[in-house]
Amino acid sequence: MAKAVLMPKVGITVEECLISTWLKKVGDQVKIGDVLFTYETDKAALECESTAEGTLLEIFYEDGDEVPVLVNVCAIGEPGEDVSSLRPGAESEKIEEAEAPTNQVEPDEEEKASAFLLAQENNKELKISPRARALAQKLDLDASQAKGSGPYSRIIERDILSLQEQGGQVAQRSTDSSTLDLAALDSGEYTDVKASKIRTAIAQAMSNSLATTAQLTNHHSFDATDILDFRKSLKNKSESLELPNITLNDIILFAVSRTLLKHPLLNAHLLEDGTLRQFKSVHLGVAIDTPRGLMVPTLFNADKKSLSEIALEVKELAQMAQSGTINPDLLQRATFTVTNLGALGVEMFTPILNPPQTGILGVCNIITRLKQVGDKYEPYPAMGLSVTYDHRAVDGVPEARFANELVDNLENFTSLLL
């Protein structure tokens, strides 16, 4: 008996996923555990493994389709088995058939009904998969002539191929001169890249952040001599002490986690009703650059972790985020975020808040500055810090107090460790 494979449920907040690429095709033999296709949530790219063994009989959704979780995506079984009952929407189609009127329509009335239904259909957006639409354009066919055989009568790739075999009509072209001029442009002059689900989610989150919060950024700097010397000494002893590779960013995360405990206005969430929820532990969001876009995994209870534990966990979170295997539950509930552009030479920037958080720290690069020591000016390595805060919850003075204490902790980092 044929079995369906469901779109996996990943995390407690994910409601739908986008199919990226099918790795198997209809007719292929699959075993339990074989990867059928890759898919995206708004946070990660993952692989769907088969839960059944046999022949891939039918694919219900194609590349580029967004599919609700726990919905049948394909059917696997023995060749020739009926899979109609497994197609999404099969139950609703049975109900519609049962409720359909049984009275006959006279030929002239039937023509009127057909014309009416055609007019109604023309007023609706054509239900067609991205691959089927692309194929119709390639074959220069009018896709609206095809009869959809996909889920909920959606037009899929095989329907366009059937239309071609039946001698489907060529798609109508506008004769407007402006349209012809545009069509004459060399398609090689540009490339259209469709936004991924993750990129779309990032865009929506950033727009929402700027539209719903009162953001202000203060810029600071500190003498990085102590943390540079400390890291240099660790690199020389890391093997003998069996320590992980501890980066400057790990050091800053450690200092932030200890400093925030004394500044609850910035270790908080501003709720929609105006309530400021202040947290007793520090859950640090750590911005990670990935091939799919920016991700912010959460380092939970960072204030209770040692420097070595922070260094190890951040590396694990980064690896999962960059490979696309991170659980979406690890990408939420942070109380403060740290984002670092220092390695790319950025001297100062304006990090954008992750609501409902009230603060975010941007870490900048190190530049050489001069400071007066007695009658002389001596060079020192200055690292920049940019703090964005929600002015609805935090004023400039509380932010400055936080930044001043953070600067002191970083300039005297060995003392902070003790």
90-136 residue pLDDT tens: 755 544 444 444 444 444 544 544 443 444 444 446 778 777 887 88
Mean pLDDT for 365-373 is 95
**Higher-confidence position of 104 and 346:** 346
CB 385 within 8 A of CB 220: yes
Position 210 scores a pLDDT of 93
CATH number for the domain running over 104-189: 4.10.320.10
Span of 3-17, 66-80, 372-386 with lowest mean pLDDT:
3-17
> Is residue 184 pLDDT above 60, yes or no?
no
**Higher-confidence position of 289 and 159:** 289
CA angle, corner 285, sides to 362 and 44, nearest 5? 115
CB 37 within 8 A of CB 105: no
Strand locations in 126-258 (E): 215-223
pLDDT digit string (tens) for 311-328? 999 999 999 999 888 888
Position 251 scores a pLDDT of 97
Span of 97-101, 198-202, 224-228, 374-378 with lowest mean pLDDT:
97-101
Nearest CA-CA partner of 325 in 27, 43, 46: 46
Q: What values do phi and psi take at 22, rounded to 5?
A: -80, 130
Confidence of residue 338 (pLDDT cuts 50, 70, 90): very high
Strand locations in 13-71 (E): 16-22, 29-30, 35-40, 45-49, 54-59, 66-68
> Is residue 193 pLDDT above 90, yes or no?
no
> Is residue 231 pLDDT above 60, yes or no?
yes
**Higher-confidence position of 133 and 391:** 391
pLDDT digit string (tens) for 137-161? 888 888 888 888 776 677 888 888 8
Position 164 scores a pLDDT of 84
Position 95 scores a pLDDT of 42
Mean pLDDT of all residues in the chain?
85
**Higher-confidence position of 77 and 166:** 77
Determine if residue 87 is left, alpha or beta; phi over 0 gives left, psi from -120 to 50 gives alpha, anything else beta.
Answer: beta
Position 116 scores a pLDDT of 38
Confidence of residue 271 (pLDDT cuts 50, 70, 90): very high
In percent, the amount of the chain with pLDDT more than 90 equals: 58
Q: Where exactly are the structural domains of the chain? A: 3-94, 104-189, 197-417
Confidence of residue 173 (pLDDT cuts 50, 70, 90): low
Question: What is the CATH class of 3-94?
Answer: mainly beta
> Is residue 397 pLDDT above 60, yes or no?
yes
**Higher-confidence position of 325 and 4:** 4
Position 97 scores a pLDDT of 47
DSSP code for 126? P
Position 114 scores a pLDDT of 47
CA 148 vs. chain centroid, Å, equals 31
Burial 30-43 (b: 16+ CB within 10 A, else e): beeebebbbbbbbb
Architecture of domain 197-417: 2-Layer Sandwich (3.30)
Position 167 scores a pLDDT of 78
Mean pLDDT for 11-38 is 90
**Higher-confidence position of 88 and 250:** 250
CB 357 within 8 A of CB 285: yes
Instruction: State both tokens at 70.
Output: 């726990």
Nearest CA-CA partner of 266 in 112, 86, 97, 395: 395
Position 1 scores a pLDDT of 87
Position 101 scores a pLDDT of 46
Distances (CA, A) of 37 to 8, 283, 322: 11, 34, 19
> Is residue 87 pLDDT above 80, yes or no?
yes
Most confident region among 36-45, 238-247, 257-266, 286-295 by mean pLDDT: 257-266
> Is residue 176 pLDDT above 80, yes or no?
no
In percent, the amount of the chain with pLDDT more than 70 equals: 85
